[in-house]
Structure 1
Amino acid sequence: MKYRVLGKTGYKVSEVSFGAWAIGGTWGSVDDNTSMKALEKALEVGINFFDTADVYGDGRSERLLSKLSKSTKEKFYIATKAGRRLNPHTAEGYTKENIENFIDRSLKNLDVEKIDLLQLHCPPTEVYDNEELFYGMDEIVKKGKIAYYGVSVETVDEALKAITYPNVSTVQIIYNMFRHKPNEVFFKKAKENNVGIIVRVPLASGLLTGKMTKDTTFEDDDHRKFNRKGEAFDRGETFSGVDFELGLKAVEELSKIKPEGYTMAQFALKWILMEDAVSCTIPGGKTPEQVMQNAASSDMPDLSAEQMEAVKNIYDKYIKDSVHHLW
């Protein structure tokens, strides 16, 4: 496993880290015992950064990470998120008081005195103009409840606005073979501002694993069934906003240029890691086997310029027109 610095935090994090949404919920049925084995395997293969949120299973994945920390002496970092507990989820709800209340709840779930990294959880676009909130985040840091803070964003424009605040340490954003736009302007600006980039949805909700077909079915509580048109939250979080059948066609083309010895998922993860502005990517892992496979991509050979160009050509042909302008 290779490690990179996570922006202003200074944390050296595994470039393939762990996204804990799937072990919390809305990805079909999960078993906590299997989830714990996946988390333990993550530590074993060198993963030291875990991304979660207070709404994943209503704190379920936070509590699993607390259990993990009690079971080991190994040091690892936990990033959680706050804001999506607001009901309704509106810009007006993003006050220092509300966010601090959510943080207090996460501190209990995680059973820690200080959170390593707190991220605002895909707030409405207007929130990025709320200077008072960001000054409030600075105050929460001074209180010792959080070490650093960042934002999880939906769009490149939100990311660019977020990093104008000097103490935003990280930005979490969707970037994958189906979502190229962050690489146009944002990555360069983030590097200039020493902002860590956490890449989520690296496998486009599983589409880029190459294991799905048009006959693949999903459980009723799986967002890949109920959120394809953005019924529950931003459509871009599900299959990166790509039409399922169109995505399958693009994956078929990508599989033809996949390097020998890689799984399709490893090819997709390595493609992300070819960008040096990226601090880490956070694929989910429901099982120890998935975690091992994901982690192995860190030590696989770099992709060639020709392979990178071929991925871009497939994106331009199949995907760009339907997603590039939206996020």
Structure 2
Amino acid sequence: MTFKSVELGRGGPKIPQLGFGAMSFGGMFGPTDEETSFACLDAALDAGITFWDVANIYGMGVSETILGRYMAAKKPQVVLATKASIINGPPRRIDNSRDHLLSEMEGSFKRLDVDRVDLFYAHRHDPETPIEQVAEVMQGFIDEGLIGGYGLSEVAPSTVRRAHAVSPVRAVQNEYSLWTRLPELGLIDTCAELGVAFVAFSPLARGMFGETSVRRGDMRDGDFRLTNPRFTEPNFSANLRHIQAFRSWAQGKGWTVAGAALAWVMAKGDHVIPIPGTRTAAHLNEWRDAAKIRLTPQDLAEIAQILPAGFAHGDRYGDHQLVAIERYC
């Protein structure tokens, strides 16, 4: 499948407008293994999905190690992004210092079997560290040839503008999907204005926009969704009812549910790049043809009736999950 080719930020490498998020390889949503992960990456390449996103804390290095072994074995031509700044603790904290970012970057390079990455994010912004200082550090990494560009994650539009004034931001990664619409209140537009890619994580709502419904009984102990407000009752049942209506609508069109949900995200602009994740090739194949779906104005109007902005019951994170997430509305 040929996806639309877009820039990863102004002047950045050309990538397909659909990427792949590798968090699940670290076991966040259930057990996995190297063979299954390799088959999933094979399916991504077969689909033409060559923008891969990971982070040092996904499985505490496991996801990066899987990617590194795959890249060493198969030498794929991909655009690679990783992240650092979060220290799990306890307590969880954020470190945006140069020493920490460089040390974590070097660890990521070793696990990924590379000597540079195309994109390196500050995974969260430490409010005690001026974002201008973070931008200066990132520019230094660019000048040293360690990274192609830098990004920010879970930040406000004002933070992006301040950082961009010091050193151009290549990408901003925030949660965005049919049930998480906050970036529409200024962040997506700010990125478009500045020439910054907006990378949408969890565009399938942590599994909710699949061919079958998520079931709490299938979630293993430790799955963070078990304590997430949208996945706890009575919110969970209410959200299932809304999304089942969308599921029926998409399937009535002859589309996969995931494909339709991703087509909606991509329709928000050429700079909007969703990065769905999965552990298996089977699930990836549910959305590999998302670029074939062309939503008409009538389709978009019908979606807006089925899933209006703000339909989701419950906040996207609980208070215990909000460390260093910038809120601006």
CA contact (8 A) 1:151 1:162 kept: no
Partner of 2:276: 283
Q: Distance in 2 between matches of 1:256 and 1:114?
A: 44
TM-score normalised by length of structure 2: 0.85
Aligned CA distance change for structure 1 residues 104 and 196 (closer, same or farther; 3 Å): same
Aligned CA distance change for structure 1 residues 165 and 86 (closer, same or farther; 3 Å): farther
CA contact (8 A) 1:28 1:221 kept: no
Residue of 247, 250, 264 corresponding to 2:242: 250
Partner of 2:48: 46
Q: Distance in 1 between matches of 2:128 and 2:192?
A: 24
CA contact (8 A) 1:13 1:280 kept: no
Aligned CA distance change for structure 1 residues 154 and 210 (closer, same or farther; 3 Å): farther
Q: Distance in 2 between matches of 1:102 and 1:317?
A: 37
Aligned CA distance change for structure 1 residues 210 and 156 (closer, same or farther; 3 Å): farther
Partner of 1:68: 70
Partner of 1:198: 199
CA contact (8 A) 2:17 2:270 kept: no
Q: Distance in 1 between matches of 2:29 and 2:65?
A: 18
Q: Distance in 1 between matches of 2:310 and 2:101?
A: 42
Letter in 2 for 1:48: T
SS at match of 1:208: coil
Partner of 1:233: none
Q: Distance in 2 between matches of 1:4 and 1:289?
A: 26
State the Cα distance separating 1:318 from its structure 2 match. Answer: 2.6
Root mean square deviation, CA, Å: 2.7
Query: Which residues of structure 2 form unaligned runs of 5+?
Result: 317-326
Q: Distance in 2 between matches of 1:199 and 1:102?
A: 23
Residue of 105, 112, 120 corresponding to 1:103: 105
Q: What pairs with 1:175-324 in structure 2 (closer than 5 Å)? A: 175-212=176-213, 216-225=217-226, 227-229=227-229, 243-258=235-250, 260-300=253-293, 302-313=294-305, 314-316=307-309, 318-319=311-312
Aligned CA distance change for structure 1 residues 291 and 322 (closer, same or farther; 3 Å): closer
Aligned CA distance change for structure 1 residues 317 and 131 (closer, same or farther; 3 Å): closer
Q: Distance in 2 between matches of 1:254 and 1:159?
A: 33
Q: What pairs with 1:6-45 in structure 2 (closer than 5 Å)? A: 6-45=8-47
CA contact (8 A) 2:50 2:79 kept: yes
Q: Distance in 1 between matches of 2:75 and 2:214?
A: 42
Q: Does 1:90 align with 2:93?
A: yes
TM-score normalised by length of structure 1: 0.86
Aligned residues: 313
Aligned CA distance change for structure 1 residues 316 and 111 (closer, same or farther; 3 Å): closer
Aligned CA distance change for structure 1 residues 130 and 197 (closer, same or farther; 3 Å): closer
Letter in 2 for 1:282: I
CA contact (8 A) 1:210 1:251 kept: no
Q: Distance in 2 between matches of 1:160 and 1:298?
A: 31
Q: Distance in 2 between matches of 1:203 and 1:243?
A: 18
Partner of 2:138: 137
Q: Distance in 2 between matches of 1:203 and 1:52?
A: 17
Aligned CA distance change for structure 1 residues 201 and 191 (closer, same or farther; 3 Å): same
Letter in 2 for 1:212: S
